[in-house]
Amino acid sequence: ARIIDADGLLVLPGLIDPHVHLREPGGEHKEDWTTGTQAALAGGFTTVLAMPNAQPPITNREALAEAHALAAAKAVCDYGIFIGATADNAEEAAGLRDAVGLKLYMGSSTGTLLVADLAGQLPHFERYPGVIAVHAEDEEAVAYFVARGERRPPLCAALAVARALTLAEHFRRRVHICHVSTAHEIALIRDAKARGVPVTCEVTPHHLFLTAADEAHLGTLGRINPPLRSSEDMQALWDNLDVIDCIATDHAPHTLEEKHSPNPPAGVPGLETALALLLTAASEDRILPANVPRLMAQGPARVFGLARKGHIAPGYDADLTLVDIQ
């Protein structure tokens, strides 16, 4: 056995980030499977679940196989890969056993993946046997506000979450709401959970630690979808951590040049900063320390069925995160 002296260190189950964008194939100038998983390990994550909005997007058997081949050759930590939903791939996606889940964009974001209409969304909720992870912003509402040059208000998220929950309840499908950022979404999810709807959800570090007011100094570096919110919305996330299953970084790197360009892409990196932020919050009594392994290891493992991960126990993978908190 390999013996590691962890004297004086905090020992956590290896952290799992259930939502990262590693950019390969197609965006290797921003990130690839090697640099992204190196960032994960540097930040204390031993498993990452990668989103399918690559270039081309991962929406069929061949693209998923290619992504698995890239990851197998280059990743330095454990991983899973989502299959992306399109308006016409519900049958194929439902048959792909080597995807960790289905990612469905109800609203447009970085990349081309989008299933905006009910006609495209219904077949996925009808068929997909695993976890349906939803980027829950309603495209019609987004388009309405963006056309007026406005930011995407909380309404966009609430409309899409209400629809996703209704579909999950009707078809008894497992839905996972990505990057919950508003009080309204929390209220909808709390109510659905109380009624037994198979829903889980995640929050990002940027929505926990930043508000729209921070855009004054962040400029376009703070541009993400869903956008930074009010301090009331941010506080609602902290006040309702019991409803939240996972912290997910939504690690979405772009180059500085791109972020400072006239039409900057949305997305921020997060793998290397999330654990330090959460441990700082714990040290300041803003959260119970037990929330760190719950939200960053146990929760993601449970939601995405990673049977041998999330706990330090006999029979589990020996994935450990050691932290020198001095």
Per CB under 6 A, 204 contacts ligand DOR:
no
- Binding letters toward ligand DOR, positions 214-253, x by CB under 6 A: ----------xx--------------------------x-
Give the chain's length: 326
Six-digit token string for 86: 């399109």
Question: Considering the complex, what minimum distance in angstroms separates the CB of residue 223 from ligand DOR?
Answer: 7
What's the rounded Cα separation, in Å, for the pair 269 and 117? 29
Nearer to ligand DOR, 137 or 319 (CB): 137
Question: Considering the complex, what minimum distance in angstroms separates the CB of residue 267 from ligand DOR?
Answer: 3
Strands 199-203 and 246-247: what pairing? parallel
Question: Considering the complex, what minimum distance in angstroms separates the CB of residue 195 from Zn ion?
Answer: 25
Tell me, what amino acid is at 324? D
Nearer to ligand DOR, 111 or 205 (CB): 111
Nearer to ligand DOR, 135 or 184 (CB): 135
Residue 267, binding choice from Zn ion, ligand DOR, none, Cβ under 5 to 8 Å by partner class: ligand DOR
Per CB under 6 A, 53 contacts ligand DOR:
yes
Six-digit token string for 236: 């609602």
3-state secondary structure of 17: strand
First-to-last C-alpha distance (Å) of the chain: 28
- CA-based nearest residue to 245, from 293, 309, 307, 183: 293
Q: Kindly tell me which residue out of 84, 130, 267, 293 binds ligand DOR, with binding defined by CB under 6 A.
A: 267
**In Å, how far are 162, 165, 178, 181 from 191, measured between CA atoms?**
11, 10, 17, 16
Helix or strand (DSSP H, E) at 249: none
Per CB under 6 A, 162 contacts ligand DOR:
no
Q: Bridge-partner residues for 102, per DSSP? A: 83, 132
- Binding letters toward ligand DOR, positions 103-132, x by CB under 6 A: ------xxx---------------------
Give the binding-site size for ligand DOR (rule: CB under 6 A).
12
Q: Which residues in this chain contact ligand DOR in the complex, by CB under 6 A?
A: 21, 53, 109-111, 135, 224-225, 252, 265-267
